[in-house]
Homo-oligomer: A and B are copies of this chain.
Amino acid sequence: MPDPHSTDPAFSGLTKNQSLVLETIAKARRPIGAYEILRELAPRGIRSPVQIYRAVNSLIQCGIVHKVESINAFVRCTDAHPHHGQTTILAICDDCGTVVEHHDETVDRRLVAWAKQEALEVNAVTIELKVRCANCSALAP
Interface residues of A (CB under 8 A from B): 69-70, 72, 89, 91, 93-94, 100, 102, 104, 106-107, 110-111, 114-115, 118-134, 137
- Stoichiometry, as copies per complex, reads 2
A119 to B138, CA, bound (A): 10
Instruction: Please name all residues of chain B whose beta carbon is closer than 8 Å to the beta carbon of A124 when the two chains form the complex.
Output: 70, 129-130
Instruction: Please name all residues of chain B whose beta carbon is closer than 8 Å to the beta carbon of A114 when the two chains form the complex.
Output: 89, 102, 104
Contact, CB under 8 Å: A100 / B129:
no
Instruction: Please name all residues of chain B whose beta carbon is closer than 8 Å to the beta carbon of A118 when the two chains form the complex.
Output: 91, 100, 102, 134
Q: Which of B100, B125, B132 contacts A123 (CB 8 A)?
A: B132
Q: Which of B91, B119, B125, B137 contacts A128 (CB 8 A)?
A: B125
Contact, CB under 8 Å: B137 / A121:
yes
A19 to B48, CA, bound (A): 40
Instruction: Please name all residues of chain B whose beta carbon is closer than 8 Å to the beta carbon of A137 when the two chains form the complex.
Output: 119, 121
Report 8 cross-chain contacts, Cβ distance below 8 Å, ordered by A residue.
Answer: A104-B110, A106-B106, A106-B107, A119-B133, A120-B133, A121-B131, A123-B129, A126-B130
Contact, CB under 8 Å: B107 / A120:
no
Contact, CB under 8 Å: B126 / A132:
no
Instruction: Please name all residues of chain B whose beta carbon is closer than 8 Å to the beta carbon of A129 when the two chains form the complex.
Output: 111, 115, 120, 122-126
CB distance from A115 to the nearest CB of B (A): 6
Given contact pairs A94-B123, A118-B134, A121-B131, a sample of 13 additional A-B residue pairs in the complex whose CB atoms are under 8 Å apart? A69-B128, A72-B72, A104-B111, A107-B107, A107-B110, A120-B131, A120-B132, A120-B133, A121-B137, A122-B130, A123-B129, A123-B130, A125-B128
